[in-house]
Structure 1
């Protein structure tokens, strides 16, 4: 085996060993056994929310253990692929060596992706994520851009098998969305997606301009950790004003004939949340209260952080006004302005191919000491 290949395999082994230590595989196996016992309890589903939490954590833990075990197995098999290539002759040797090189490159990418996941060590990182998208400057193009971003994140979640629950979609009059709120319901989604927070900028030929001029649009992405029962976010009912109205769809049309949509206003802070995607007023109120709790938790977190380190700016400011640019015309490029990661395939990125940006964002955040 070539010395460069041997050195690279040693480097991969060192990285994977570090990942295994950080993940504490013995503790992970113990936790899986514990969760399997809870999941087999016939009384578990008496409390549906707790049951879903247990089964979700179990599924995630099993998946993580399986992933790291598969990486170790692939790394152990890699020297054998090179030995087989050396034993071949002619075209067969060339093809076998190409297979080994491809697997080594794929394995490096997969081990580095696993390494990034071990960097999610923040207090709220293990939580599910609540994503809020708002259209910014740019009129109807910005509203369309907000809808494109929502689709991008939902497609990313679907490709990874993460369930999504949409709480609210406020449609703009001509096209697109004024705002949308949805949850990505899998462990570590807050830690993963929080690096997507900030202003996203789109440059393209406007499909809404009959003169075909180039248009720049902006949309804001906010990512919050989903509130858990241990958070003690108590909301006084007297502090909340509840308004009900009819849900509306694209173009302002009324979706139903009852006042099932709910708007909650938290009077002390002025925070307003809406939910209109559930079938009943009660369901919408429960979902809206979840969103309000998440916003108040984030507010509390930022206040505590500001007290601890008054000189350090909060997430919203430090991640800048523009964190990523998507250019569809006059050339094709997506560029992250913090990490300098680029892609020349915007259509793939807008279709959910976000991993390289998210992984680079997590590394950037760790280096910045966020």
Structure 2
């Protein structure tokens, strides 16, 4: 790379990074971290365990976010020093090292820049993810479990806390459905582009004739509500059922009827929670999930009305959004953004940032075009 190209690239990185830092408002993040650290230091913090978990989880996520931004700024500064050193010493090896680091930093800045595109009303919230197996029998149930692992691994890579509320296991393998929360700032805005129908094509490990099988799973992502959100549900609109929690193969997790299923009678919305220790805790968690889903339902109805006024007859952008092909070739491809990769194992191991970032940019473009 020519000298003037390095200068231009470093200048562009510095400008983009300054814009990102301004939008994210690092001073506000630092102030919030300091406030949360004071709360964590309180001796009575763990007297209220749900609140303690929320506080410590939010602190960890904000510290991770702040570290991500400051480390990237430091890498840009270090890259400038590395380029200057390579020029002074006329060292081709150091220049090649600078070239490699420049590409890595540019990619990292592009990924961070996506965060500035998240400005929706609920984008800053935690994400509540529900995965359901679809057509494809046992392969679909297995695929649903693969997707659950994929998203949990993605969260772990970013040091985001995950809380599993409910998992319904299939009889032979995999899961019928699962609901879990990813707890981090902007988790909903980031993961909301994952909503839709996912399709898997592979040689079925459950078919003794080794035939290729196509299976489907649905991913739903809604924001976790806070206490200040006004979602009131009259008690007479909810049916409460209790049952015994169970794990894979029907094995009992505990010996009491602590699992809770809530049915919102007017809409037919059903949610359940079985991962807490008591019936009371499960009911409280199930109510959190129910309120989040009812809010999403309300927002979907509002969007449908707007689309009808616009004369929009296209299907939802989330439907049939991604294909995972393992046979006769290896490829994961997003059908909306055309983002693709041949490294399918990495994707199932949680390496999905490029797909998420492409989805966020695609959605922003679609929203701008619709205005």
Please say which of residues 43-52 and 236-245 is displaced more in the overlay: 43-52
**Partner residue of 2:163?**
165
**Partner residue of 2:11?**
10
Deviation, 1:29, is 3.7
Deviation, 1:44, is 5.5
Give structure 1 stretches of 5+ with no counterpart.
none
Please say which of residues 199-208 and 290-299 is displaced more in the overlay: 290-299
TM-score by length of 1: 0.91
**Partner residue of 1:238?**
236
Pick the aligned partner of 2:173 from 156, 172, 175.
175
Q: C-alpha offsets along residues 57-106 of structure 1, whole Å, 9 cap, x if unaligned? A: 444333333322222222222222122222335xxx23211211111111
User: Structure 1 residues 268, 313: CA separation in 2 closer, same or farther (over 3 Å shift)?
Assistant: farther
Where 2:135 maps in the other structure, the secondary structure is: coil
Deviation, 1:159, is 1.4
Q: For residues 126 and 190 of structure 2, what CA distance do their matches in structure 1 show? A: 10
Deviation, 1:361, is 0.9
Deviation, 1:363, is 1.0
Deviation, 1:306, is 4.0
Deviation, 1:50, is 4.4
Deviation, 1:119, is 1.3
Structure 2 residue 269 is matched with structure 1 residue 268: no
- Residues paired across the two proteins, number: 366
Query: Retained in 2: the 8 A contact 1:203–1:326?
Result: yes
**Partner residue of 1:223?**
221
Q: For residues 282 and 297 of structure 2, what CA distance do their matches in structure 1 show? A: 23
Q: For residues 325 and 277 of structure 1, what CA distance do their matches in structure 2 show? A: 31
Query: Retained in 2: the 8 A contact 1:197–1:319?
Result: no
Query: Retained in 1: the 8 A contact 2:61–2:160?
Result: no
Pick the aligned partner of 1:329 from 322, 327, 330.
327
Q: For residues 249 and 50 of structure 1, what CA distance do their matches in structure 2 show? A: 27
User: Structure 1 residues 41, 17: CA separation in 2 closer, same or farther (over 3 Å shift)?
Assistant: same
Please say which of residues 105-114 and 296-305 is displaced more in the overlay: 296-305
**Partner residue of 2:75?**
74
Q: For residues 235 and 161 of structure 2, what CA distance do their matches in structure 1 show? A: 31
Query: Retained in 2: the 8 A contact 1:56–1:187?
Result: no
Q: How does 1:1-370 map to 2 (within 5 A)?
A: 2-40=3-41, 47-88=48-89, 93-307=91-305, 310-311=308-309, 317-369=315-367
User: Structure 1 residues 347, 269: CA separation in 2 closer, same or farther (over 3 Å shift)?
Assistant: same
User: Structure 1 residues 162, 31: CA separation in 2 closer, same or farther (over 3 Å shift)?
Assistant: closer
Deviation, 1:344, is 0.6
RMSD between aligned residues: 2.3
Q: For residues 318 and 198 of structure 2, what CA distance do their matches in structure 1 show? A: 10
Deviation, 1:37, is 4.7
Deviation, 1:230, is 1.0
User: Structure 1 residues 35, 254: CA separation in 2 closer, same or farther (over 3 Å shift)?
Assistant: closer
Where 1:187 maps in the other structure, the secondary structure is: coil
Q: For residues 70 and 228 of structure 1, what CA distance do their matches in structure 2 show? A: 31
Deviation, 1:252, is 3.3
Deviation, 1:282, is 2.2
Q: For residues 10 and 170 of structure 2, what CA distance do their matches in structure 1 show? A: 53
